[in-house]
Amino acid sequence: MMIGHRHRGFGRPGGWQHADLPPADDAPAWFAGRLPDGWFEGPPEVSVDRDEIIVVGRLSPVTVGTDDPAAVAAAETGRISRFREGTRDARIEIAREAEHKYGRKVAWGAQVGDTRQLFTTLSAPVMTRLRQPERKVLDTLVDAGVARSRSEALAWCVRLVGEHAGSWLSDLREAMSSVDRLRAQGPDVGPTETGPASTGPTGAGLTEAGLTELGPAVVRPTEA
């Protein structure tokens, strides 16, 4: 006896979003209001996908008595380290609140001048099947020393697409967000039409005298 398997096809259930994943469209505003005053210069940069929320804020600049690029970079790195250690407990508490609200992990980062650091971020495995032409592309990158493995080569390809197709990807995300909003709204079916009243002194049904337009009303007993 053969047991059939339901074919789920490609993509995620419910389109491009998990059915059980809460929306996070308001995450940038939530973090802007939740973070303590004085942490960052202006609202933080908040990026969201279905697995993770990354919050990166710009710190106040450091003053270094030299123009040496290495010294400036070292001072900026030290400034980020001080922020990371000094805000650890508060960031953990805020992350817990956000994870409960949005159902995603939260990662942090900071930027000073040209120095940008992301703290511990999520690395999510992505399974895929590639045919020989695609595998050859990855193997070429590995053989050339661009990547150390096929998985690293695939990640390199994804980053390359993100860098060179950023405008198209942004348009695509905006289009998907518009569809999500329309789906959440639902159709506007308008007011429901109703027919003429079946009872009342001016209706076509029973009148006050117990007569219909066609003659005396006949009342039959209902079934028990």
Helices (H), the chain: 27-34, 69-86, 88-102, 132-143, 150-164, 166-185
Question: What does the chain come to in residues?
Answer: 224
Q: Decide if pLDDT at 57 tops 80.
A: yes
Domains of the chain, by residue range, sit at 27-118, 132-183
Q: How confident is the model at residue 21 (pLDDT cuts 50, 70, 90)?
A: confident
The pTM for the full model equals 0.58
Q: 7 pLDDT exceeds 70?
A: no
Mean pLDDT of 112-121: 90
The larger pLDDT score, comparing residue 83 to residue 168, is at: 83
- φ, ψ of residue 54 to 5 degrees: the values are -110, 125
In this prediction, residue 186 carries a pLDDT of 80
Q: Which of 11-25, 72-86, 129-143, 189-203 has the highest mean pLDDT?
A: 72-86
Share of the chain above pLDDT 70, in %: 75
